[in-house]
């Protein structure tokens, strides 16, 4: 049963379960990366047989496999994919940045050139919850940014095939190539390339501890989006909310992972008790109730800040949750008070699952308190910016002496002379 606590009975640092007692996988991952770099495809085949239990004869998904998968996917799901993709595109197209040029000084042209990252890699988890939504959320912003090559890796099933819903999402989102590889070995292949898998410039997408550690180790060779931890939701709800709605929303995150954190902060003890009861009823009806119950009992909490929603918002700001729901009257009155959150869900009819699948904003979000300084995945993650500077001789004449003064203050005489030499008679 979920615990009910009053404000002050638990510190902000203990509200979410962010310090996980996991065994270090650093050494194992380093060995996997080294072997993939040394042996290429051979290592990938071996690891797939060892970890996924399937012997492959080709790593890349063929056109025939794609067509077979698409034919097996229900038409209503294809329609949902299309609608979700449309909403995601519409939202992310508003994020597109433009290059700019300034000519405010005579003889000086300054500017910024925005260009797409050429090759990106998408890691998509497999397992019991095939995340086809992640394909849309990661690939569509990359496509909008103008990335030329979008390479996806995802682990195969025991039959050597990729889940058809994942392939349907990849087709909808415009993924360029798809490989049947999972785990740290997939990250290594994307970072360094093999005979079959092209090396990319950036890797995005969630994964288990091995995938997260592999992303950390290859960072610098390639860029990454973030090191994602277990899923989190914090709900701020007043006593007028429906306890069944709130219980359902807490469980929407708890069913992800036994390490997930689902927390409610409310201004009403009576409402806290009602949610506690509704959770028990809802849990028994869940197909993944074993996972959800472990999450709720280990990490779940209801915190009562009686009569004070502003205090509840401050608790949210201290935690900086991945998902924040505001189930209150006039939620827009509270929006400006929220300083740290990955994605904010407003009102009583905006469950977090809307953001996971259909609304349009991205569901790849900062976890572990990193919403204090980082943002959801966006088109910005798939572009880079170059600066450019142009001076005429006359413009340089006005600034050369000041460049030299600055350079000499830093003890860098060659810097000074590189500006002054252009002022000398030829």
CA atoms 161, 123, 130, 135: torsion sign: negative
- Phi first, then psi: what are they for 114, rounded to 5°? -100, 125
Instruction: Give the DSSP per-residue string, 211-250.
Output: HHHHHHHHBTTBEES----S-EEEEEE-TTS-HHHHHHHH
Cβ atoms < 10 Å from Cβ of 392: 11
For 138, residues 6+ apart whose C-beta sits below 8 A from its C-beta are: 122, 124, 204, 205, 364, 377
Identify the H or E element spanning 321.
Answer: none
What is the phi/psi pair of residue 27, to 5°?
-65, -40
Query: In whole angstroms, how far apart are CA 420 and each of 109, 211, 231?
Result: 20, 52, 57
Candidate list 322, 325, 352, 363, residue with the active-site label: 322
Instruction: For residue 96, list its beta bridge partners.
Output: none
- Cα(396)–Cα(419) distance, rounded to whole angstroms? 8
Measure the N-to-C terminal CA separation of the chain; round to a whole number of Å.
Answer: 84
Q: Is 323 a catalytic residue?
A: yes
> Beta strand pairing status for 323-327 and 383-391?
unpaired
Whether the CB-CB separation of 361 and 376 falls below 8 Å is answered with yes
Catalytic residue check, 363:
no
Q: Which two tokens stand for residue 123?
A: 């890691």
**Cβ-based neighbour number of residue 293 at 10 Å:** 22
Q: Residue 73: what are its φ and ψ, rounded to 5°?
A: -85, 135
396 touches 419 (CB < 8 A):
yes
Contacts of 60 (CB under 8 A, 6+ apart): 177, 178, 179, 180, 196
Instruction: Specify whether the CB–CB gap between 305 and 311 falls below 8 A.
Output: yes
Q: How many CA atoms lie within 13 A of 83 on its CB side?
A: 10
* Pair of tokens at residue 409: 């203050």
Exactly one of 92, 256, 323, 363 is catalytic; name it: 323
Residue positions annotated with a catalytic role: 322-323
């Amino acid at each position: 049963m979920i615990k009910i606590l009053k404000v002050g009975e638990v510190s902000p640092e203990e509200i979410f379960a962010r310090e996980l007692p996991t065994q270090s996988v650093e050494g194992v991952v380093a060995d996997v990366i080294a072997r993939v770099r040394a042996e290429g495809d051979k290592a990938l085949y071996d690891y797939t047989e060892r970890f996924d239990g399937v012997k492959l004869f080709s790593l890349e998904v063929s056109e025939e496999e794609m067509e077979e998968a698409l034919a097996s996917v229900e038409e209503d799901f294809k329609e949902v994919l299309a609608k979700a993709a449309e909403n995601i595109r519409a939202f992310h197209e508003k994020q597109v940045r433009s290059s700019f040029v300034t000519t405010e000084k005579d003889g000086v042209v300054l500017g910024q050139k925005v260009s797409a990252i050429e090759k990106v890699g998408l890691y998509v988890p497999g397992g019991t919850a095939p995340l086809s939504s992640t394909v849309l959320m990661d690939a569509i912003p990359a496509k909008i940014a103008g990335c030329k090559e979008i390479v996806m890796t995802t682990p195969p099933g025991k039959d050597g095939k990729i889940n058809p819903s994942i392939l349907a999402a990849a087709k909808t989102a415009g993924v360029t190539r798809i490989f049947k590889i999972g785990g740290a070995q997939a990250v290594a292949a994307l970072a360094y390339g093999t005979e079959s898998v092209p090396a990319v410039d950036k890797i995005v997408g969630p994964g288990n501890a091995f995938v997260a550690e592999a992303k950390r180790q290859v960072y610098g060779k390639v860029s990454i989006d973030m090191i994602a931890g277990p899923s989190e939701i914090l709900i701020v709800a007043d006593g007028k909310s429906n306890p069944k709605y709130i219980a359902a929303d807490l469980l929407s995150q708890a069913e992800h992972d036994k390490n997930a954190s689902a927390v409610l902060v409310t201004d009403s003890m009576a409402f806290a008790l009602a949610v506690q009861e509704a959770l028990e009823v809802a849990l028994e009806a869940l197909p993944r109730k074993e996972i959800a119950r472990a999450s709720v009992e280990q990490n779940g909490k209801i915190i009562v800040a009686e009569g004070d929603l502003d205090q509840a918002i401050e608790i949210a700001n201290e935690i900086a949750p991945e998902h924040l729901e505001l189930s209150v009257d006039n939620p827009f009155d509270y929006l400006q008070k929220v300083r740290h959150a990955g994605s904010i869900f407003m009102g009583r009819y905006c469950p977090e699952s809307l953001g996971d699948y259909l609304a349009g904003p991205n569901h790849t979000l900062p976890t572990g308190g990193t919403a204090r300084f980082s943002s959801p995945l966006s088109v910005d993650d798939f572009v880079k910016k170059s600066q450019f500077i142009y001076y005429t001789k006359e413009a340089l004449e006005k600034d050369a002496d000041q460049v030299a003064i600055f350079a000499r203050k830093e003890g860098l005489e060659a810097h000074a002379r590189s500006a002054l030499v252009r002022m000398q008679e030829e």
